[in-house]
């Protein structure tokens, strides 16, 4: 089997570390691997397959002789270095929002649109975490019944905002436990305007002129692009919740063709990347605490919308690990798909 020269850019971040774990977990065919990060991480040692590798500062010279570069270092780094890797012949799979809505850049979820991968399009965007898990579930339902409208409310884990947010959440919990509730108000809030411990914040990213946040508009625009159907109407409300890891979503869909809960379960149970967990009478349904570190999107509580007289509306609950399928795992799966499709 052919082996590849791989680089992980942003290797010491929450998603970068998961990318390294996924490459090892999936026994990706690697000839050599390089880890790049910011200046504060230079010289740090990261282990891959029981061998230590020194973290390097990313420079133009470091972009040469790489087959696949997995980026999770933010928009600024992606804008500066992704095209340089591509010019040097690398495939770049970028986890930031820098290129997602560029019409010349494929936005890929392998279970949904692998056909959008092309040999000549070496820059590939990894979608937003909340979008990825949703479209994995929407795809088989859309193929059968054509989805007309989606209303989604997300309950997004703190880890979606990065390691600093995780640390802040931990510190707030400790502060509350040692002192009292009022002490949270004076606690250092570097990532969130309000305390996240024991709270819900109905804002992720900045608000746009239409009253929706950038995160909510990402879900709207990215879903249409990935699904290849701009006619789908989508409205999202994104909420940050006091959970360390795994995003949850409540989704309502309206379809052109009648689709019963029973048949939806059959379609989903046969689809790649989905685990059906839908036995509410036995208290079996997806929850973030138990989905952490798993590689599929869990679906449960599938039911007809009782407010509609026809059988063309369903609602359901999905949960997926935002650092894995929502980021690192999806990126590595894109790389695997490139190999399987003989594009690399």
Question: Which of these is catalytic: 53, 142, 238, 247?
Answer: 247
How far is Cα 155 from Cα 256, in angstroms, rounded to an integer? 28
**DSSP 8-state symbol, 209:** T
CA atoms lying within 13 Å on the CB side of residue 154: 31
How far is Cα 98 from Cα 76, in angstroms, rounded to an integer? 8
Q: Domain with 77 in it: what CATH number?
A: 3.40.50.720
Range of the domain at 119: 4-127+327-340
How far is Cα 122 from Cα 335, in angstroms, rounded to an integer? 11
pTM given for the model: 0.95
The pLDDT of residue 158 is: 97
Intervals of the chain under pLDDT 70: 180-189
Residue by residue, DSSP assigns 31-91 as EEEEEEE-GGGTT-EEEETTEEEE-EE--GGGGSS-SEEEE-S-HHHHHHHHHHHHHTT-E
Question: Which of these is catalytic: 53, 129, 142, 238?
Answer: 129
238 is catalytic: no
The pLDDT of residue 182 is: 65
Regarding whether 166 and 99 lie in a shared domain, the answer is no
For 305-308, which contacts have Cβ atoms below 8 Å and span 24 or more sequence positions? 305/252, 308/254
Q: Tokens in use for 133?
A: 């898990």
How far is Cα 162 from Cα 165, in angstroms, rounded to an integer? 5
Number of domains in the chain: 2
129 is catalytic: yes
Residue range 16-61, pLDDT digits in tens: 999 999 999 999 999 999 999 988 888 999 999 999 999 999 999 8
Regarding whether 259 and 123 lie in a shared domain, the answer is no
The pLDDT of residue 183 is: 65
Regarding whether 184 and 167 lie in a shared domain, the answer is yes
How far is Cα 241 from Cα 238, in angstroms, rounded to an integer? 10
Residue range 133-185, pLDDT digits in tens: 999 999 999 999 999 999 999 999 999 998 889 999 999 998 888 876 666 66
């Amino acid at each position: 089997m052919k082996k590849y020269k791989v680089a992980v850019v942003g290797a010491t971040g929450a998603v970068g570390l998961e990318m390294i774990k996924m490459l090892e977990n999936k026994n990706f065919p690697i000839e050599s691997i390089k880890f790049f990060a910011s200046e504060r991480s230079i010289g740090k040692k990261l282990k891959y397959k029981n061998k230590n590798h020194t973290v390097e500062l990313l420079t133009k010279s470091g972009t040469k002789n790489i087959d696949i570069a997995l980026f999770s270092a933010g928009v600024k780094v992606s804008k500066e270095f992704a095209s340089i890797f591509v010019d040097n012949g690398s495939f770049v799979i970028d986890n930031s929002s820098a290129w997602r809505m560029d019409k010349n850049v494929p936005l890929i979820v392998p279970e949904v649109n692998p056909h959008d991968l092309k040999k000549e399009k070496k820059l590939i965007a990894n979608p937003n975490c909340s979008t990825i898990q949703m479209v994995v579930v929407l795809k088989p339902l859309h193929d059968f019944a054509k989805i007309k409208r989606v209303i989604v409310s997300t309950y997004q884990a703190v880890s979606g905002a990065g390691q600093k947010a995780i640390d802040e959440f931990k510190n707030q919990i400790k502060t509350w436990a040692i002192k009292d509730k009022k002490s949270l108000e004076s606690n250092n809030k570097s990532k969130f305007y309000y305390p996240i411990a024991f709270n819900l914040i109905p804002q992720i990213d900045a608000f746009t002129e239409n009253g929706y946040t950038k995160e909510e508009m990402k879900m709207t625009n990215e879903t249409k692009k990935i699904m290849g159907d701009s006619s789908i109407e989508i409205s999202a409300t994104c909420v940050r919740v006091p959970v360390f890891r795994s995003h949850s979503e409540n989704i309502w869909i309206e379809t052109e063709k009648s689709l019963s809960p029973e048949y939806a379960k059959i379609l989903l149970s046969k689809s790649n990347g989905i685990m059906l967990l839908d036995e509410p009478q036995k208290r079996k349904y997806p929850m973030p605490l138990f989905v952490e570190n798993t590689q599929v999107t869990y679906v449960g509580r599938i039911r007809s919308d009782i407010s509609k007289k026809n059988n063309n509306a369903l609602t359901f609950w999905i949960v997926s690990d935002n650092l894995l399928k929502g980021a690192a795992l999806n990126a590595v799966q894109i790389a695997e798909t490139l190999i399987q499709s003989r594009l690399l």
